[in-house]
């Protein structure tokens, strides 16, 4: 049996610290952030030092959002890490994404918000030429996509889906034709093809599918069908900073797997080891990020990253009560001021209530183990679990009983709302989506074997 291993990481979001990441404006910005900012350089340097030394694999894939927000200096420093990795004998294949080009990136110091030099998208090909494009057997320069041979009989379809470089993150008709030509060429050569695409093609958890193009690539249902039916059954993705492995079967009974990996620089931080056996199946395992040097303020490294994630969720919940206009703006609802008052009222209730009190409001029996748990604490855990993967609140757990008990009381409302919503052109069963978002019933998100 032949085994070809490679290491996958994504959303490195490298930020050059000399640009500025301090001050009151920085701290206010971080209240709403899942990922780290000032720490990204230290995290990346520790990870790349580990990659330099590991004997687990000699090939490294990085699935986009290489810089924090397109700062030129961040790209230049990150490229030095890539050069050093290459000097240690590693093969590197990267794609870029939306956070890698920006006319107006930002930084912070004691004076407030700064605007360092940005990066134009047209510069990315030359900047990252030596880390994928130079080894490609086919290049689509317009879309910044390419095909490379990872090992004999196995090709990487490295896809950039910047689309219109605004909100429509997708493949153009021209790019899709190019993709299909590459799939046909691989099939003719007797090679298997796997893909790497920054935006997820399957929702990490079912509820993510309702959030549209911000979390799943536009037209993803059609694209996954096209890819699977063309012989591409595995896609490695990022963007959402969550750990997820999900599967779809097309009408022609072709399987498609989306392996989404959490950001390197924020909870749930991690990398993947992918071991391809006989170019027929791939075993995906999850690796922790290495220890990095930082003042964790008395916490462990994992606790420190988790605290940042939890602060983000807490800030959103509190802003429902204290600053509903800003809350609505943060979730993309800027043109409905009439919602501010009801959001504030709901926020006041949720920030004060226990799980038992919420259950009592809906005449639902609350399991005694969680009766006195604050609702906001349960909410934080529900959201964090959705990002960390393998959501534990399956049938038989007290959390499932409480959440789905309330949803059961609301089922007529959920059914009415679901009828007005669409996912992949079909009505939505909100009750089912919620149940499969708080508990994982499918593939293990941290370790799985998928067929190529």
CA nearest to 344, candidates 319, 315, 313, 321: 321
Give the helix/strand (H/E) hosting 300: none
d(C-alpha 314, C-alpha 90), whole Å: 41
pLDDT grade for 209, boundaries at 50, 70 and 90? confident
- In a domain, residue 424? The reply is yes
Taking only Cα atoms into account, the Rg of the chain, rounded to an integer number of angstroms, comes to 22
Q: Which pLDDT belongs to residue 342?
A: 83
Q: Is residue 450 part of a domain?
A: no
φ/ψ (deg, to 5) at 167: -100, -20
Q: Are residues 14 and 149 in the same domain?
A: yes
Q: Which of 290-294, 375-379, 396-400, 413-417 has the lowest mean pLDDT?
A: 413-417
Per-residue confidence (pLDDT) for residue 179, from 0 to 100: 97
Say yes or no: 147 and 273 in one domain: yes
Q: Is residue 386 in a domain?
A: yes
What range does the domain containing 317 cover? 303-442
In whole angstroms, give the CA distance from residue 433 to residue 418.
10
Give the pLDDT of residue 327: 84
Q: Which of 252, 269, 293 is the last residue of a domain?
A: 293
Together in a domain, 185 and 277: yes
Q: Which residue among 293, 319, 338 closes a domain?
A: 293
- b/e code 181-204 from CB counts within 10 Å (16+ = b): ebbeebeeeebbbbbbbbbbbbbb
Is 298 part of a structural domain of the chain? no
| CATH number (domain holding residue 227) | 3.60.21.10
Q: Which helix (H) or strand (E) holds 288?
A: none
Question: Does position 298 have pLDDT exceeding 90, yes or no?
Answer: yes
User: What CA dihedral angle connects 309, 71, 122 and 197, to 10 degrees?
Assistant: -20
Instruction: Return d(Cα 304, Cα 29) in angstroms, integer.
Output: 17
pLDDT band at 3 (very low <50, low <70, confident <90, very high): very high
Same-domain status, 268 and 395: no
Instruction: Identify whether residues 288 and 322 lie together within a single domain.
Output: no
- Structural domain includes residue 94: yes
Cβ neighbours, 10 Å, residue 131 = 21
* C-alpha–C-alpha distance, residues 374 and 354, integer Å: 4
The verdict on residue 451 lying in a domain is no
Please check whether residues 254 and 163 belong to one and the same domain.
Answer: yes
Residue 85 lies in a domain: yes
Check whether residue 274 and residue 311 sit in a common domain.
Answer: no
pTM reported for the whole predicted model: 0.95
Residues contacting residue 207 through CB under 8 Å, at least 6 positions apart: 386, 433, 434, 437
Predicted pLDDT at 169: 79
268 and 321: one domain?
A: no
Same domain, 310 and 375: yes
Shared-domain flag, residues 62 and 169: yes
- For residues 96 and 120, is the Cβ–Cβ distance under 8 A? no
Both 370 and 287 in a single domain? no
Max CA-CA distance within the chain? 64
Q: Are 282 and 255 in contact (CB under 8 A)?
A: no
Q: How many residues in the chain?
A: 452
Please give the tally of structural domains in the chain: 2
Q: In the beta sheet, which residues pair with residue 234? A: 257
Is 80 contained in some domain? yes
pLDDT at 426: 76
167 with 101, same domain: the answer is: yes
Domain boundary residue among 293, 314, 346? 293
Which CA distances in Å does 264 have to 43, 129, 196? 8, 22, 16
According to the model, what pLDDT value does residue 326 have? 86
Higher pLDDT, 277 or 415: 277
Specify burial of residue 89 (Cβ count, 10 A radius: 0-12, 13-18, 19+): exposed
Question: How much is the average pLDDT of 217-227?
Answer: 90
């Amino acid at each position: 049996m032949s085994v070809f291993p490679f290491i996958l990481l994504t959303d490195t979001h490298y930020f050059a610290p000399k640009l500025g990441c301090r001050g009151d404006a920085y701290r206010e910005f971080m209240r709403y952030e899942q990922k780290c900012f000032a720490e990204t350089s230290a995290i990346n340097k520790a990870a790349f030092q580990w990659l330099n030394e590991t004997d687990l694999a000699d090939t490294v894939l990085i699935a986009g959002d290489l810089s924090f927000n397109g700062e030129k200096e961040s790209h230049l420093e990150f490229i030095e890490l890539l050069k050093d990795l290459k000097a240690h004998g590693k093969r590197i294949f990267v794609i870029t994404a939306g956070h890698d080009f920006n006319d107006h990136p930002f930084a912070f110091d004691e004076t407030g918000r700064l605007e360092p030099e940005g990066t134009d998208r047209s510069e990315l090909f030359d900047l990252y030429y030596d880390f994928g494009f130079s080894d490609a057997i086919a290049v689509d320069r317009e879309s910044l996509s390419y095909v490379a041979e990872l090992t004999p009989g196995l090709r990487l379809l490295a896809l950039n889906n910047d689309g219109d470089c605004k909100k429509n993150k997708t493949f153009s008709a021209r790019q899709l034709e190019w993709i299909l030509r590459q799939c046909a060429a691989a099939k003719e050569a007797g090679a298997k093809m796997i893909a790497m695409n920054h935006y997820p093609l399957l929702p990490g958890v079912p509820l993510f599918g309702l959030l549209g193009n911000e979390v799943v690539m536009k037209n993803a249902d059609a694209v996954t069908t096209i890819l699977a039916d063309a012989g591409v059954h595995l896609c490695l993705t990022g963007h959402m900073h969550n750990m997820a492995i999900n599967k779809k079967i097309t009408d022609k009974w072709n399987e498609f797997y989306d392996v989404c990996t959490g950001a390197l620089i924020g909870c749930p931080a991690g990398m993947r080891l992918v071991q391809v056996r006989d170019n027929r199946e791939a075993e995906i395992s999850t690796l922790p990020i290495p220890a990095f040097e930082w003042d964790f303020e008395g916490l462990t490294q994992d606790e420190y990253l988790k605290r940042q994630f939890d602060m983000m969720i807490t800030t959103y919940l509190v802003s429902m009560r204290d600053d509903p206009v800003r809350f609505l703006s943060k979730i993309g609802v800027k043109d409905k001021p009439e919602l501010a008052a009801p959001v504030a009222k709901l926020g006041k209730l949720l920030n004060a209530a226990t799980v038992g009190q919420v259950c009592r409001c809906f005449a639902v029996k609350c399991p005694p183990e969680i009766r006195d748990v604050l609702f906001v604490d349960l909410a934080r855990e529900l959201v964090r679990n959705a990002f960390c993967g393998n959501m534990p609140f399956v049938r038989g757990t007290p959390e499932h009983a409480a959440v789905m008990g309330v949803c059961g009381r609301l089922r007529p409302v959920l059914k009415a709302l679901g009828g007005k919503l669409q996912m992949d052109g079909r009505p939505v069963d909100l009750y089912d989506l919620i149940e499969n978002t708080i508990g994982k019933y499918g593939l293990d998100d941290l370790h799985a074997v998928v067929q190529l």
